[in-house]
Amino acid sequence: MLEYIDSHAHYDDDAFDSDRDELLVRVHEGGVKYIINMGCNMERSRFSVEYANKFPFIYAAVGIHPEDVDKAPADYLEQLRKWAADPKVVAIGEIGLDYHYDGYDAELQKKIFEEQLDLAQELDLPVVIHSRDATEDTLNILRKRGKVNGVMHCFSGSAETAKQMLELGLHISFTGVLTFKNAKKAISALGVVPMDKLLLETDCPYMAPEPNRGKRCDSSMIVHVIDKIAAEKGITPEEVAKQTMENTLKLFYKIKL
Ligand code: NI
């Protein structure tokens, strides 16, 4: 059986309300060794910590997503710090910049992003970074820090951008987007990512890979992403699963503590 890790999931999403716990057990028994559930705001970070303590194979990230910065309470950093002390909290995420929808507050997003990068550094935890339509500002913030221990999630940028992220020390994570028919750019980015910097994720319930595109995504669907990467890199699916598992456990080192 192929064993792999879903390094980025949102099982707190309403899409899982009807069958969340059964589904989690089923995907785990089907080969998903570990799942890292993301935090996006206070409520969803709390869910991540709670579920990580409910199921041994689930781990949590806590953080404020750029689209949720306006809802961050004044003491959010203290709360994140408290959660991060939990042995099952392995990262600060997902954090970053998102300029996709009108009405965003770029200055507030940058402030909250940088505060959380500082926190991660202070706590010696990796970061999970979300960047949409904000590549330049994201790179500028990260470059000020030299090296950054973390992952650029749901990567869909160019090969050139991937190289710049790799230079900062970041890992690159791909979702089902790689399997889409119009994934040329993501495929060429995959070409520049060395195998020891590659992570797998679903970002479920979104981003279901082909042949499930448009359906509710869950962690078991990573097999389609694994197959695609194996075909592109000219190696076996087992090698992709094994190497990305090693990478994930090295980056999110608290999983093994
Ligand atoms: Ni996400």
Instruction: List, for residues 210-241, the tens digit of each pLDDT value.
Output: 999 999 999 999 999 999 999 999 999 999 99
Separation of 8 CA from ligand 1 center, angstroms? 6
Average pLDDT over residues 52-78: 98
Separation of 124 CA from ligand 1 center, angstroms? 22
Instruction: List, for residues 144-183, the tens digit of each pLDDT value.
Output: 999 999 999 999 899 999 999 999 999 999 999 999 998 9
Average pLDDT over residues 245-250: 98
Look at strands 58-62 and 32-37 and give their pairing.
parallel
Is the CB of residue 175 less than 8 Å from the CB of residue 226?
no
pTM equals 0.97
Separation of 201 CA from ligand 1 center, angstroms? 9
- Sort residue 250 into left (φ over 0), alpha (ψ -120 to 50) or beta: alpha
Separation of 70 CA from ligand 1 center, angstroms? 18
Q: String of b and e for 148-168 (b: at least 16 CB within 10 Å)?
A: bbbbbbbbbbeeebbebbbeb
Instruction: List, for residues 82-92, the tens digit of each pLDDT value.
Output: 999 999 999 99
Q: String of b and e for 64-98 (b: at least 16 CB within 10 Å)?
A: bbbbbbeebeeebbeebeebbebebbbbbbbbbbb
Is the CB of residue 174 less than 8 Å from the CB of residue 7?
no
Model confidence at 67: pLDDT above 90:
yes
Separation of 100 CA from ligand 1 center, angstroms? 15
Q: Nearest-CA neighbor of 229 among 182, 191, 172?
A: 191
Q: String of b and e for 226-236 (b: at least 16 CB within 10 Å)?
A: bbbbbeebeee
| CATH code for the domain defined by 4-251 | 3.20.20.140
Separation of 46 CA from ligand 1 center, angstroms? 16
Separation of 122 CA from ligand 1 center, angstroms? 23
Rg (CA), the chain: 17
* Partner residues linked to 200 by β-bridges: 174
Distance, CA of 250 to CA of 243 (rounded, Å): 11
Is the CB of residue 250 less than 8 Å from the CB of residue 244?
no
Distance, CA of 43 to CA of 37 (rounded, Å): 13
Q: What is the mean pLDDT of the chain?
A: 97
Cβ atoms < 10 Å from Cβ of 181: 7
| Structure confidence at residue 27 (pLDDT) | 98
Model confidence at 257: pLDDT above 90:
no
Instruction: List, for residues 29-63, the tens digit of each pLDDT value.
Output: 999 999 999 999 999 999 999 999 999 999 999 99
Instruction: List, for residues 175-212, the tens digit of each pLDDT value.
Output: 999 999 989 999 999 999 999 999 999 999 999 999 99
| Structure confidence at residue 70 (pLDDT) | 96
Distance, CA of 222 to CA of 126 (rounded, Å): 22
Look at residue 45 and give its three-state secondary structure: helix
Average pLDDT over residues 5-27: 98
Distance, CA of 221 to CA of 227 (rounded, Å): 11
